Amino acid sequence: MAELDIRISDPAGFCWGVERALEVARTAAEEAEGPIHTLGPLIHNPAVIADLERRGVEVLGDASEAREGTIILRSHGVPREVREELSRRPVNVLDATCRFVKSAQERAAVLHASGYLVVILGEKEHPEVLGLRSYAGPDSIVVEKPADLPAELPNSRVGVVVQTTQSQERLADLAAHLAPRVKELLVYNTICNATQQRQRAAISMAKEVDLVIVVGGRNSGNTRRLAELCAEVQPRTHHVESAAEIDPQWLSGAGIVGITAGASTPPEQIDAVVRRLKEITS
């Protein structure tokens, strides 16, 4: 098999928010006294979570389980009531929430307090969106596409916030559908810069290659979105969590392979994919 031309999208992999969250967790593992837990997985990457567990940082499923030691708030943020509950417990809380997620929470709170019906563009069960809803009010609506909107909106004043890993195209589509239906529409584009940069770079790369490998956790919203966007441009797109998942048959007839990775994917996982591709074609 001829030597592959392997291209890595730039940027790809860890974003600033994920790097900061990992720094918080790893520093706590070295310095904090007593048990150390994250409230839910710190980031959506199984291999990274396994590494943190080896360092003594374990995952708690619920704030009610936090009884002592250090609790790290995940990069996706937590609902407002969870923060309040933790403040009443004898634990040391370290906040690793991404600054873009915090900004979205603040925007949602302001919209709700100002009397707007808050529409959240995002995945209903994603932890970031569950956190956003706690700030957006009980009447807030979560949609993944305009078709998810109710036939009748209970308020003519609507404010939109966005899960930070959504795409600009989805936001534009939602805004276009809402505008004719309301008297007042306020849209906060809370998609993070890192997401936008990775999506633009990945789409550009996908147009120039014969095959795309997207690396990252399947539970990672931003990684799945990269795979979806790349597949729209290059149908030969595959999402893998590890290099071991790569099927040599995927490379049949491919001279140029592009690699991109979600914001929660460490560089060593990207490097492993490159090595695997070279092994297959050597």
Q: Which residues are catalytic?
A: 128
Of 149, 161, 143, 71, the residue nearest 107 (C-alpha): 161
Neighbours of 16 (CB within 10 A): 14
Helix, strand, or coil (residue 230): helix
Is the distance from CB of 170 to CB of 221 less than 8 angstroms?
Answer: no
Rounded Cα gap, residues 214 and 240, in angstroms: 6
Element (H, E) at 174: helix 168-178
Rounded Cα gap, residues 57 and 262, in angstroms: 22
Rounded Cα gap, residues 112 and 106, in angstroms: 10
Six token digits for residue 59: 């995952």
Rounded Cα gap, residues 204 and 66, in angstroms: 45
Rounded Cα gap, residues 129 and 202, in angstroms: 24
β-pair type (184-187, 36-39): unpaired
Of 56, 57, 54, the residue nearest 73 (C-alpha): 57
